[in-house]
Structure 1
Amino acid sequence: MTLVELSGVFWGPKGQPDILSDISFAVPEGQILAICGANGAGKSSLLRLICRHHAPNRGTVRLLGRDLWLMSAPEAARALAAVPQEQPGEFGLTVRQIVALGRLPHRRGWGAGLSTPDGTDAALVDAALHRLDLAPLAHRAFGTLSGGARQRVMIARALAQEPRVIVLDEPTNHLDIRHRLDLLALLRGLGLTVITTLHDLTLAADFADRVLVLHEGRLLADGPPETALTETVLARAFRVQARIDRSGAMPRFSFHL
């Protein structure tokens, strides 16, 4: 089943040239898709379209087969969770309260307190805290955490949302090596559809089922890592000379001007 589909999508700020042009692809259930490309290629803009932050100027974004912009925001949030790259500095809430925000799309009203979610909500919040190694920090103020810990909190919030699709913008940026590997293993083991941007091409080649390479707002390559991440594609995408050593268990990338 296709969970996310873009058809002929164009987007740019009002009154300015399009940043993304003629983007079409479909993501089936359970697939892990990594989006790669140079700075300014349109990666974050593409994620914002998928997450319903931007409406396309032309074309259609579909979630679970429906036009994303014909769904209500809570309905979309029950199916798709987003983890942005930018982390808010201070919510005035504890780690547990932040993670509990992931349950809001499933509530019928706004009366339930965030600090004491009941029944199923509490169990799901606890499970998300444990999966991201955050239980010892549950009562810490979010604003007192390191950048890496904040990133894990935002991912835990997304997991508490119980989505079918999770979208992440550079999720490993603030993480140390151990938590970076733990996170990618966790995401792969969730059984969810995962769409993420990644700067690290070695991580993308090892982690993703499929890689989409953007260049100047258009699709340059789309396929399994071994066919999407070629020397020719990378040379054009990043405007460098690219070399790939595939003699080991994972490809090794090197670049020269």
Structure 2
Amino acid sequence: MMSAHLIATGLGWAPRGGKPILSDVSLSVAKGEVLAICGANGAGKSTLLRMIYRYQRPDTGKITLAGDDLWALPPRAAARRVAAVLQEQPTDFALTVREMVGLGRTPHRQGFSGAGARDGEVIAASLHRLDLVRFADKPFGTLSGGERQRVMVARALAQEPELLVLDEPTNHLDIRHQLEVLGLLRGLGLTVVLTLHDLTLAAEHADQLLLLHGGRVLAQGAPAAVLTPETIARAFDVTARIDTSGPSPRYSFHL
């Protein structure tokens, strides 16, 4: 059995003077696994991600990466190990695609040193992996929303992290590029934590699925074990039907 790479125990967070957004959330992800976090709007998915990529410190609980307390690491050390791709895209449209991807190398540079040969190799490889070579010298602002999303994934890969965190990475992507990006994430050898609205995509591409409801863990495990009609009904307040006649399950929902 693979040992856990990312472990979170007893995570909780509430806005000052407000009701808890997350309560007693724990998870465990093995090295190289893909964990999809699912749940209705307001279930706490984005808050949980913010804790994992060190944007929002938990009020309670602990997160470890390869045994190290993630929130005890110096910021630069953490940035070398954890990369995030968020739904909010940069507004500095004057940068070229190559320059945008190159920003992923920042945590690896010392002081005011410029890009070295190793940086160039990593940037080139990231552009190639996301099929962005032909866009390398174009201004980021001239790209479509889906192309920009691929640039942000390439920038995260250029960081050479061991943990990749993505908030709805298939947003703005057409069906082909959704499948390509999710397939790529599975083949990276990285530990990946992402949120997905599409349960079919989550079931097909994740090793594990964490289902949140009301800021608490409703279920975690293999997608087929988590996504039952009963848990889906409780998490989303809908009636669910699961078609298992094909190679992978298909979900339909009714009020």
TM (norm. structure 2) is 0.96
Residue 131 of structure 1: aligned partner: 129
Residue 37 of structure 1: aligned partner: 39
Residue 195 of structure 2: aligned partner: 197
Structure 1, unaligned runs of 5 or more: none
RMSD: 1.1
State the secondary structure of the residue aligned to 1:110.
coil
Q: Which amino acid aligns with 2:21?
A: I
* Distance across 2 between alignment mates of 1:139 and 1:84: 23
Structure 2, unaligned runs of 5 or more: none
What is the correspondence of 1:81-230 to structure 2 with a 5 Å cutoff?
Answer: 81-112=83-114, 117-230=115-228
* Distance across 2 between alignment mates of 1:36 and 1:110: 41
Q: How many residues align?
A: 253
CA distances 1:171-194 after superposition (whole Å, capped 9, x unpaired): 011111111111111111111111
* Distance across 2 between alignment mates of 1:12 and 1:140: 42
More off after superposition, 33-42 vs 4-13: 4-13
Q: Which amino acid aligns with 1:120?
A: R
Q: Which amino acid aligns with 2:225?
A: T
Structure 1 segments (4+ residues) deviating >4 Å: none
State the secondary structure of the residue aligned to 2:224.
helix
Q: Which amino acid aligns with 1:170?
A: E
Q: CA deviation at 1:66?
A: 1.6
* Distance across 1 between alignment mates of 2:214 and 2:66: 28
Q: Which amino acid aligns with 1:178?
A: R
Mapped pair 1:17 → 2:53: no
* Distance across 2 between alignment mates of 1:245 and 1:182: 24
State the secondary structure of the residue aligned to 2:5.
strand
* Distance across 2 between alignment mates of 1:135 and 1:104: 21
State the secondary structure of the residue aligned to 2:217.
strand
Counterpart among 241, 246, 249 of residue 244 in structure 2:
246
